[in-house]
Structure 1
Amino acid sequence: MISGLSGSGKSIALRALEDSGFYCVDNLPATMLHEAMSLYADYGYQQIAISVDTRSSPSLGALPDEMHKLRQQGMDVRLLFLEAKPETLVKRFSETRRRHPLSGSGATVEECIQLEQELLASIQEMGIRIDTSELTANALKTAIKQLVEADCSRLTIIFESFGFKHGVPLNADFVFDVRCLPNPYYDPELRRFTGRDQAIIDFFGQQPLVAEMTEDIRCMIAKWLPEFSRENRSYLTVAIGCTGGQHRSVFIAEQLSRAFPAEQVLIRHRQLFRES
């Protein structure tokens, strides 16, 4: 299931899933989910991606119950909810010169975005939230494919680095601020590297505070992970932020990703994706 705010990248997500072998359906009323799934099953489709959003808003309230019914029938049903900052959505609508789906009443784009957020508030916490504010189309496609390939039978931890000057990720469950740590940006010879490069890895390897903070974050996540698993959650997003999202946050996110089983971890570097 794909849902989210208009302009957040739902069409890109559907195309990514189609490229991965999914049969895709856009803008299906939630009340038709059961009927549609039965039909597609008769045709032999095993992987189906369906977009449900405010274009069929009268049926949105039925989505939780319809998804529950499908799960009771033994189907693996997952919801990806795409969102972005209001200013990002306004910019995207301005650049593409497209009308917002809720603009029929003459409301401004900003008013339409606020209304849509209210209409979708009840379902945004049902699945994994993806903040596309800083993601390129290719980065979003990569994130979608990673999530689809993840083992839904266990809780997946997403470690995401970011830069505070670009804003805090909307989808974060935990946010750790590592701006108090030594910053290699101020060394002209290190500035051009990222936290994945050996020069930065060597730099942080000589900083005891970096190792100490990384271990503190690891211990906190490890301690509470079983409790989140008992809540039947599929994903937990841990955001690590520094000033620009290039050095400290990237390095620590990489270190944390190696501290948990590889099959349980996804890693994203928001500002590195943004640069690509």
Structure 2
Amino acid sequence: MSAARPGQRPLPRLLLVTGMSGAGKSTVLDALEDMGWDTVDNLPAAMLADYVAHGRGPGRQVPIAVGMDARSRGFDPEALPSILRAIPGVRPAVLYLDCSGGELIRRYGETRRRHPLAPDRPAEDGIARERSLTAPLRQGADGVIDTTDLTPAELRDELRRRYPSDSDEMVLTLVSFGFARGIARTADLVFDLRFLANPHWIDELRPLTGADQAVRDYIAQDPAWPGAIDRIEALLTDWIPRYWGAGKSYLTIAFGCTGGRHRSVTAAVEMAERLRGAGFSPNIRHRDLASEPSDTIEEDPGRAADGDTGE
């Protein structure tokens, strides 16, 4: 991959946006266009180099995003990465958009669209064929985003974190989430906080969240908390610069608990404060903070042992 010499501006990005049909390619291209990228969809593979060359005028450093999938003329998943990286004067990368088969079937059912690889068969046949066809692209991709659980707004936020304007600082994001609602799919590192005492089972704390001081104070009283949060902080302050030095431009660190409203939120808030004190600039996102408290998804070993169902 080409790199800028010291004192030179970095080369403009060239991003191939590909993956599963229905996984959000149009949403990604629209978001990148809003972020100032030059975007084009379903460009024939044979026109890729010429398109990039004509789009780069003297001094023009606008990043380029090209959407291609099974519908694009000349689409060859095994050859595309080499074609992309042979184009001079850019920083090429491949972004693969993935999504679970069940969610893709649901999306095709809602839109009543036919899958491009199965126009006369069920959508699941086309999905299976496309997943096999694009496997080489996914394996060699520079980035993968699973859009199964992402809303369009969340997908746009993820793109802003992954592809910020060129700067000399890693994009660091702390996420809280609830395991009962699915693991955070975009996380690079995941810390499980379910070993801590659960504020959900304290009546006055249940309607609050981990961002409230009363909940933070309660969690701080757990004997396991001080050592755990200190060790996580030491690990992150050591690893974050190493990730940056290895060329990683974004890092997402997720904290999970059962429901995603108390322990994980407190951990993310606390760690954001500690990392800012150490000179980092983390973003913070609480995935499940707006969810309603639920005894059904929360687990209380003490109550189960006493035969109390929590009803």
TM-score of the two chains, using structure 1 as the length reference: 0.81
How far 1:224 moved relative to its partner? 4.1
CA distance in structure 2 between the partners assigned to 1:119 and 1:274 by the alignment: 38
Report SS of the residue matched to 1:104: coil
CA distance in structure 2 between the partners assigned to 1:24 and 1:220 by the alignment: 39
CA RMSD of aligned residues (A): 3.1
Matched, 1:10 2:25: yes
Matched, 1:86 2:101: yes
Q: 1:139 aligns with which of 143, 146, 154?
A: 154
Matched, 1:66 2:48: no
Report SS of the residue matched to 1:123: helix
- Alignment match, 1:49: 65
Matched, 1:104 2:146: no
Is the Cα–Cα contact under 8 Å of residues 164 and 244 in structure 1 kept in the other structure? Answer: yes
**What is the number of equivalent residue pairs in this alignment?**
272
How far 1:37 moved relative to its partner? 0.6
Is the Cα–Cα contact under 8 Å of residues 4 and 53 in structure 1 kept in the other structure? Answer: yes
Is the Cα–Cα contact under 8 Å of residues 31 and 66 in structure 1 kept in the other structure? Answer: no
- Alignment match, 2:285: 268
CA distance in structure 1 between the partners assigned to 2:129 and 2:229 by the alignment: 40
- Alignment match, 2:54: 39
User: If each structure's helix is expressed as a fraction of its own residues, which one has the higher value?
Assistant: 1
How far 1:208 moved relative to its partner? 4.0
Q: 1:127 aligns with which of 142, 147, 151?
A: 142
CA distance in structure 2 between the partners assigned to 1:113 and 1:126 by the alignment: 19
Q: Once the two structures are superposed, what CA deviation does each residue of 1:245-266 show, in whole Å capped at 9, x if it has no partner?
A: 2222222233334444676644
Report SS of the residue matched to 1:55: coil
TM-score of the two chains, using structure 2 as the length reference: 0.73
How far 1:198 moved relative to its partner? 3.5
Q: Once the two structures are superposed, what CA deviation does each residue of 1:117-147 show, in whole Å capped at 9, x if it has no partner?
A: 3333333352333232222222222222233
How does 1:130-169 map onto structure 2 within 5 Å? Answer: 130-149=145-164, 151=166, 155-169=170-184
How far 1:95 moved relative to its partner? 1.8
Which of 214-223 and 139-148 deviates more?
214-223
CA distance in structure 2 between the partners assigned to 1:102 and 1:274 by the alignment: 38
CA distance in structure 1 between the partners assigned to 2:259 and 2:208 by the alignment: 12
Q: Once the two structures are superposed, what CA deviation does each residue of 1:204-231 show, in whole Å capped at 9, x if it has no partner?
A: 3333423322232333344444554454
CA distance in structure 2 between the partners assigned to 1:83 and 1:69 by the alignment: 25
Is the Cα–Cα contact under 8 Å of residues 68 and 75 in structure 2 kept in the other structure? Answer: no
In structure 1, runs of 5+ residues without a counterpart are none
Report SS of the residue matched to 1:117: helix
Fraction of identical pairs, as percent: 37
- Alignment match, 1:118: 132
How far 1:38 moved relative to its partner? 0.6
- Alignment match, 2:271: 256
* One-letter amino acid of the counterpart of residue 65, structure 2: A
Matched, 1:187 2:202: yes
Is the Cα–Cα contact under 8 Å of residues 157 and 266 in structure 1 kept in the other structure? Answer: yes
CA distance in structure 1 between the partners assigned to 2:53 and 2:158 by the alignment: 29
CA distance in structure 2 between the partners assigned to 1:273 and 1:39 by the alignment: 47
CA distance in structure 1 between the partners assigned to 2:193 and 2:134 by the alignment: 32
CA distance in structure 2 between the partners assigned to 1:119 and 1:255 by the alignment: 44
Which structure carries more relative contact order (alpha carbon 8 Å, separation 6+)? 1
In structure 2, runs of 5+ residues without a counterpart are 1-14, 293-311
Higher Rg of the two aligned structures: 2
